[in-house]
Structure 1
Amino acid sequence: FILIAAVAILVILSLFERPLLFSKTGGASLHAPLWLSLGAGLVVGGLSQRSRFCVTGSVRDIMLTRNVFSGIGLVVALLTALFADIFTGQFNLGYFDQPGAHLEAGWAFLGMALTGWAAIIAGGCPFRQLVKAGEGDLDAWIIILGMLAGAVLVQNWGIGATPASVPPQGKAAVLVGFAFLAFLGFGREKR
């Protein structure tokens, strides 16, 4: 009940565009209209909940069990994003000149590998955690709060990559993340 009340309060506050909730510059200042976002969120959330969509689970099923059925959702998600980018004029084919992206492919791969490994330990990709939280899963809520806290630390401490490069503290954070997940995965293994 408390979480529903908190979300309701944020929605009501967002109707009045308080400066605390809205950025005027940077990536956070770019957002869709509130009602369009809420409507799309309800549709996508409902479809995702009914189909049990999970990026990590789709890749796992395709690679381990050769079950391509769960990959259909992944293909639909990628095609939807492609057509949305083309429709809005934001499509840019290629690795270079992507908005906000750096060119250090190795660190980009390691960052996503870290995300994938954490998703496996957590029992689902970040998107699936959102769906599970909507279903009332307390563990998923804790994971989401952890992701939000991590995002705040990345922004406040300047750990995040910029179009120029990945800062040294960002590289160190990725390596510390791998060490932490290795401890969780192997250090606590039953003997």
Structure 2
Amino acid sequence: MSLHDDAVLVLKAYGDQDELRQEYLDHLAAHPDALWKACGAGHLTASALVIDPERGQVLLTLHRKLRMWLQMGGHCEPQDASLTAAALREATEESGIPGLTLLPGGPVRLDRHPIPAPCHWHFDVQYAALAPPGATQAISDESLDLRWFPYDAVAEVADESVVRLLEAARARL
């Protein structure tokens, strides 16, 4: 199964945000290259909010280019067998934490947001990843900083999309 086919199945099974979900499906139907950065009309990305529920904290990255505190995530790669695999790979690479596991049940949220040209949109498929006990993060080249934040401090440092993702992830927990 191709990554494109997997994305269609994942989105058809996603049971929330019906209007936005349909926009994602329409985009995939109109653009065979919708999973790749080269798709100028916008492309799907995969991200994961890393959570330590025992400590009531999330790990956020200070994104090098955007200079914003965000969840881990990014572009799909040819070796990704699925959106789930892409989200887990991105979360592991950017957090430096081995042994992350995604919450069952598929994506937690969808978030479509504008990005600078030449591409115009990210259609982000957002997951939540559980950190193993005693997890220690390691900063990657894509980050200026990595930091654990208590749930109630996220709104002070991150934008609304991250806050909504945290709320959805906590509801899923």
The alignment's TM-score, normalised by the length of structure 2, stands at: 0.26
- Name the structure with the higher helix share: 1
Structure showing greater Rg: 1
The alignment's TM-score, normalised by the length of structure 1, stands at: 0.24
- Name the structure with the higher strand share: 2
Higher relative contact order (CA 8 A, sep 6+): 2
